[in-house]
Amino acid sequence: MRWLVRMEVDAEVARSERIFDNYAWHRKLWECLPGRPADDRDFLTRIDPLDGAFRLWVLSKNQPVCPDWCPDEDFSIKEVAPSFLSHRFYAFDLKANPVKAIVQRDAQGQPLFKANGKRKSGKRIPLTDPGELENWIERKGGTRCFDQATGSPVAGGFRIVKDRPLEISPMVEEHFRKKKQSAYHGGVRFRGTLEVTDRDFFIRTYQEGIGSAKGFGFGLLLLAPLSQ
């Protein structure tokens, strides 16, 4: 079972709460799920700037509550019924952080390794090329396999419907500060039509999100069922 929340928050309220970037939202949205200071983050969020306001989404297996900085009339919540995820086709809207890893190499071009003998993690850089972004979202739907370490779907459960429009927005740098360090995520919005190809994988993908930086408002699939 999952709960989906939609909130509308005025920009003046956000400023008064000292919410200036997605890391601040990352911390503030914990207030929708009180009493869990030591828990791992197991919910998804999305932050959409509007004209003078923000639209916020939270998808959680625990029922969220309305925080005191959001008016009750601007807080709506619904349970995601199993039947909602039983359709074959959906219109989807995804705000994601598509990246690729560049292998770290030495002056001779050889991969760098850690002291324990494992290869150093590649530096992640945002994807910006439209062709690479289209391939990225297709891969996220097309591979039916689980990560052996976490049990989470690597990708899978759906395909992008090719004869329907696929809108891919230009990458937008979303800057933030964490522990006095500045950084940014590359946000890209995908809108199109998907077809479910494996129901179990699709449900887990919906519940756990797509791509990286999920704690910063990326990866939550907004869905609308379609008859065909």
Question: What CATH number did the domain enclosing 184 receive?
Answer: 3.30.70.1210
Nearest to 45 by CA among 32, 140, 35, 17: 32
Amino acid identity, residue 123? Answer: K
Mean pLDDT (the chain) is 87
Tell me if 38 is assigned to some domain.
yes
Co-location of 61 and 157 in the same domain: no
Asked if residue 194 and residue 137 are part of one domain, the reply reads yes
Do 75 and 163 reside in the same domain of the chain?
Answer: no
Do residues 134 and 67 both lie within one domain? no
User: Domain tally for the chain?
Assistant: 2
Domain region containing 6: 2-80
At residue 155 the predicted structure's pLDDT band, cuts being 50, 70 and 90, is: low
Q: What is the pTM of this model?
A: 0.85
- Indicate if 7 and 22 belong to the same structural domain: yes
Q: Is residue 209 part of a domain?
A: yes
User: What sign results for the dihedral spanned by CA atoms 16, 18, 21, 22?
Assistant: negative
Q: Buried (b) or exposed (e) across 101-115, using 16+ Cβ within 10 A?
A: eeeeeeeeeeeeeee
109 found inside a domain:
no
Taking only the tens place, the pLDDT of each residue in 58-107 is 999 999 999 999 999 999 999 999 999 999 999 999 999 999 877 666 66
CA-to-CA distance for 214 and 64, rounded, in angstroms?
A: 18
Identify whether residues 198 and 89 lie together within a single domain.
yes
- Positions of E strands within 17-72: 44-50, 53-60
The answer to whether residue 112 is domain-embedded is no
In a domain, residue 122? The reply is no
Residues 93, 56 within the same domain = no
* 139 and 61 in a common domain: no
**50, 95: one domain:** no
In a domain, 117, yes or no: no
The β-bridge partners of 96 are: 188
Task: Note the pLDDT of residue 179.
Answer: 75
For residue 32, tell me if it sits in a domain. Answer: yes
| pLDDT above 80 for 115 | no
pLDDT in tens, 17-54: 999 998 999 999 999 998 875 567 889 999 999 999 99
Mean pLDDT calculated for residue range 110-126:
70
